[in-house]
């Protein structure tokens, strides 16, 4: 205690000791929900009935849950792309941009009326999305790995470039644009490129399956392959991994490009599965939410599944809550942000606690929050 005072920390008494490693995100989320309840109460609605409406809106019926899964799809895929970066100590905040790039790629191939079977058309669209997104990600990834540029700033700037590039691509003189439309958007994708609907009466598409597979595969890659080992080593100790013979620059490049690839797939899923057109702002912050999803999961790909479902349940349920209780729709966004802020705010005491444990155990559990 004396030690803390001397160092000049402001500590939240009690919470730090409560925040054991597995419980940390849960405590943060709980605090976020409590704070959200306070705000709901302030706006004159009973928070309990608001949250009940939210739960019903997310899990009340198969259709409602299908809606949750639809919203979870881009978060799962984008989130796991950020997560692998976190494990390597890299903050890949560029998902938003990769999603736009991927959507343009998927849109270009998807719009074209190709005389091929639907499955081939869909695969071609995904390949185009991946190619576009990876090329888009190559710039910031190369700059981070080989020129030491801060990847956060570089990827955020590229996000905005991507948004305006998309805006240009769907404005009328461009071949992609829908002729004569009031709102600038691309033409509709061909029926053969559309992802199938899995449940009648909903827009449930196979995107969440792609997301789940991506999470599980990357979990095993991180845990059991040499590539995954090098990635984790880079995150724990970049200098040490260089001495151990890891090609640090190449490893950084690959990790950031995996993030770009995932972002591209995520954008393609949104276009081919749900939106069916490309337009400016179609991502609407999902890329940034992916960062929050990955953070909540502590960079663990399996954790991404849980946190992506949490976020999408909040969003899907929030719409119902808004209709049934009159709480403003944007309240869910505020609750989302509060939850993440509390999770990272509590996270620090977790780190202090872990530092007291022995190093070997720490290496396994520690969540690194520093910007590399």
Rule CB under 8 A: is residue 229 a binding residue for other proteins? no
Q: How far is the CB of 110 from other proteins (least distance, A)?
A: 22
- Out of 52, 114, 190, 337, name the contact with other proteins by CB under 8 A: 337
- Minimum separation from the CB atom of position 115 to other proteins (A): 33
Q: Of the candidates 124, 197, 302, 334, which one interacts with other proteins according to CB under 8 A?
A: 334
Burial zone of 239 (CB within 10 Å; 0-12 exposed, 13-18 middle, 19+ buried): exposed
Task: Give the number of other CB atoms < 10 A from CB of residue 54.
Answer: 30
Least gap, CB of 94 to other proteins (angstroms): 11
Spatial separation of the C-alpha atoms in residues 228 and 238, rounded to whole Å: 14
Q: Are 40 and 346 in contact (CB under 8 A)?
A: no
Is position 295 an interface residue for other proteins (rule: CB under 8 A)?
yes
Kindly determine how many residues on this chain lie close enough to bind other proteins according to the rule CB under 8 A. Answer: 52
- Cα–Cα separations (whole angstroms), residue 23 to 17, 31, 125, 175, 351: 11, 12, 41, 52, 13
Q: What is the nearest approach in angstroms of other proteins to the Cβ of residue 268? A: 22
Q: Give the residue, chosen from 114, 197, 213, 344, that forms a contact with other proteins under the rule CB under 8 A.
A: 344
Task: Choose the binding region for other proteins from 118-126, 227-235, 271-279, 287-295 (rule: CB under 8 A).
Answer: 287-295
Longest CA–CA separation in the chain, Å = 74
Query: Toward other proteins, which CB reaches closer, 16 or 60?
Result: 16
User: What does the per-residue mask of binding to other proteins show for 11-50, with x meaning CB under 8 A?
Assistant: --------------------------------x-------
Strand partners, 177: 186
* Residue 276 interacting with other proteins (CB under 8 A): no
Q: Residue 120 to residues 84, 189, 193, 204, 261: CA-CA distances in angstroms? A: 29, 14, 8, 21, 19
Residue of 67, 73, 251, 332 that binds other proteins (CB under 8 A) = 332
Closest CB to other proteins among residues 69, 339? 339
Q: What share of the chain is helix, strand, coil (3-state, %, to 5)?
A: 70, 0, 25
* Residue 99 vs 195, nearer CB to other proteins: 99
Q: What is d(CA 43, CA 11) in angstroms, rounded to the nearest whole number? A: 31
Nearer to other proteins, 100 or 126 (CB): 100
Q: Which of 106, 58, 35 is nearest to 324 (CA)?
A: 58
Q: Which of 139, 181, 319, 353 binds other proteins (CB under 8 A)?
A: 139
143, 198, 216, 306: residue in contact with other proteins (rule CB under 8 A) = 143
- Which part of the chain contacts other proteins (CB under 8 A), choosing from 123-131, 145-153, 252-260, 300-308? 145-153
Q: Counting contacts by CB under 8 A, is residue 93 touching other proteins? A: yes
Smallest separation (angstroms) from other proteins to the CB of 287:
10
**What residues contact 123, with CB distance under 8 A and at least 6 apart?**
none
DSSP result, 201-266? TS---THHHHHHHHHHHHHHHHHHSHHHHHHHHHHH-HHHHHHTT--HHHHHHHHHHHHHHHHHHH
**CA 286, 71, 304, 18 torsion-angle sign:** positive
Tokens of 229: 């080992």
Instruction: Report how far residue 227's alpha carbon sits from residue 282's, in angstroms, rounded to the nearest whole number.
Output: 34
Among 291, 293, 305, 313, binds other proteins (CB under 8 A): 291
Q: In angstroms, give the least distance from the CB of 370 to other proteins.
A: 6
Residue 369 binds other proteins (CB under 8 A)? yes
Q: Cα–Cα distance between 112 and 121 in angstroms, integer?
A: 9
| Residue closer to other proteins (CB basis): 88 or 195 | 88
Nearer to other proteins, 168 or 220 (CB): 168
Provide the binding-site residues for other proteins, judged by CB under 8 A.
Answer: 7-10, 43, 91, 93, 139-140, 143, 147, 149-150, 152-154, 156-158, 160-161, 164-165, 167-168, 171, 285, 288-289, 291-292, 295, 328-334, 336-338, 340-341, 344-345, 347-348, 351, 369-371
């Amino acid at each position: 205690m004396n030690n803390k005072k001397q160092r000049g920390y402001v500590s939240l008494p009690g919470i730090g000791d409560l925040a054991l490693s597995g419980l940390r995100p849960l405590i943060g989320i709980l605090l976020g929900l409590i704070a959200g309840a306070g705000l709901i109460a302030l706006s004159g609605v009973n928070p309990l009935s608001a949250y009940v409406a939210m739960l019903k809106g997310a899990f009340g019926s198969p259709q409602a849950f299908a809606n949750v899964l639809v919203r979870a799809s881009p978060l799962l895929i984008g989130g796991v792309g950020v997560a692998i970066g976190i494990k390597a100590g890299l903050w890949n905040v560029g998902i938003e941009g990769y999603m736009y790039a991927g959507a343009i790629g998927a849109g270009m191939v998807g719009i074209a009326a190709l005389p091929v079977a639907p499955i081939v058309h869909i695969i071609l669209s995904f390949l185009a999305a991946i190619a576009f997104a990876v090329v888009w990600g190559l710039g910031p990834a190369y700059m981070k790995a080989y020129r030491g540029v801060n990847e956060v700033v570089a990827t955020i700037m590229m996000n905005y470039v991507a948004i305006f590039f998309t805006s240009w691509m769907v404005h009328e003189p461009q071949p992609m644009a829908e002729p004569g439309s009031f709102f600038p958007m691309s033409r509709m994708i061909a029926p053969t490129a559309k992802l199938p609907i899995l449940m009648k009466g909903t827009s449930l598409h196979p995107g969440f399956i792609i997301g789940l597979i991506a999470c599980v595969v990357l979990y095993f890659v991180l845990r059991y392959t040499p590539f995954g080992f090098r990635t984790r080593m880079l995150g724990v100790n970049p200098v040490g991994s260089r001495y151990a013979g890891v090609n640090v620059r190449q490893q950084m490049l690959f990790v950031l490009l995996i993030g770009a690839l995932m972002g591209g797939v995520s954008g393609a899923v949104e276009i081919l599965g749900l939106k069916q057109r490309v337009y400016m702002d179609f991502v609407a912050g999902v890329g940034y939410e992916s960062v929050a999803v990955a953070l909540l999961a502590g960079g663990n790909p399996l954790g991404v599944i849980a946190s992506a479902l949490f976020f999408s349940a909040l969003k899907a349920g929030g719409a119902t809550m808004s209709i049934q209780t009159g709480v403003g729709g944007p309240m869910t966004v505020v609750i989302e942000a509060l939850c993440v802020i509390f999770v990272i705010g509590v996270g620090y005491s977790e780190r202090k606690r872990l530092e007291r444990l022995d190093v070997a155990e720490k290496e396994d559990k520690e969540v690194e929050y520093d910007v590399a």
